[in-house]
Structure 1
Amino acid sequence: MSANGRRQDEADRIRALREARTLALARRGEAVRVEGEGSAFLVCACGPERYGLPLAEVAQVVPARPCTALPGASPALLGLVALSGGIVSVLDLARALGRGGTPAEGGHLVVLRGTAVPVALAVDRVVGTGRIGGAEPEGPAPAASALAIGLGSEAVSGYAPARPGSAGAGDFALVDLPRLLRRYLP
């Protein structure tokens, strides 16, 4: 292949990458659709517990990255990260719920939408999506220990047993984000 042919192939590859990136950026603001009835939740693991965050309040999920610590901040506030051209405060979800521990290496940041200050929640991993409401599954709901899922926190508003169509999310505790964040945001 000639040098001109290689340059043309490289230019075509760059053009295709730019078009794909432009389309991805254009879709960034679209809501994630989850089929079925009821409220949709993004289910995240923090240690052995699973917590559901309202999917409508989740902007994006990105791999965890190192934070710049803030001196004198609450132990739940891990620090700040640069993300998508802005500065985002990072809260450890487990610590904010009073569960202790530290996020696992290789975890995720769940970036929230509609907050006064850009905020991301650090979690060990995103498990999948879950749904509550709508048609109930057949058979008895599994029992859950309040201590096992951290229902002692005022920001945990309930419990959702596993149900069909929940993308492997299993049982999870429901997190009331406004209640959780009011302690940390102006």
Structure 2
Amino acid sequence: MILIVNCGSNKVPYLEDIVNDHMDFTTVSMYDVAKTDLSSYKGVIISGAPILISQVNPDPYLEAFSFIKEIEIPVLGICFGHQILGMVFDAFPALEKEDRDWQTISFYEDSPLLTSIPKEVLMMEDHTENISIPPGFMLLGGSDQCVNEAMQHRQRPLYGVQFHPEVSGNMGARLIENFVNICRNHAPAKDEEE
């Protein structure tokens, strides 16, 4: 089962429809995620939000999502989710030019998140901020408007995309399906005592 964290995005129903085609899910508000028992979930998707994280005190959000540092299951952050994922790992947010249109995303690295997705693909943007690449992450892709369009942790199954795959047609749906497959196939690290 996938946990979808709704951070106030009006795009969550589209995300739910795509995930539902591949795996059961539960949706919770970002204000309830800290109280959620994650042990029965195979992965977490963090949605976008109508929040400019560079213009508010980020501490309550960083605290709500601090669980990301500890969990072993895969995480996908979308837009605000991408930004908060990065900030949990010390990325810096920046207010940039508003981008609410289709953009060509260029992918530079291979990743299980990008299986069967072309190296250049149109994806829908809806943001005015982006983040630096946090320590421990590698840049997967960028666009003319945003350097960090996609990133992946180097050792853990943590992924972030600045664009909105849930409203980006077949290739966006493919990316979400790829994440569900990552969750389905993920085996947490065994304790060394076993």
TM-score (norm 2): 0.23
Instruction: From the two aligned structures, give the one with the greater helix fraction.
Output: 2
TM-score (norm 1): 0.24
Instruction: From the two aligned structures, give the one with the greater strand fraction.
Output: 1
Choose 1 or 2 for highest CA Rg: 1
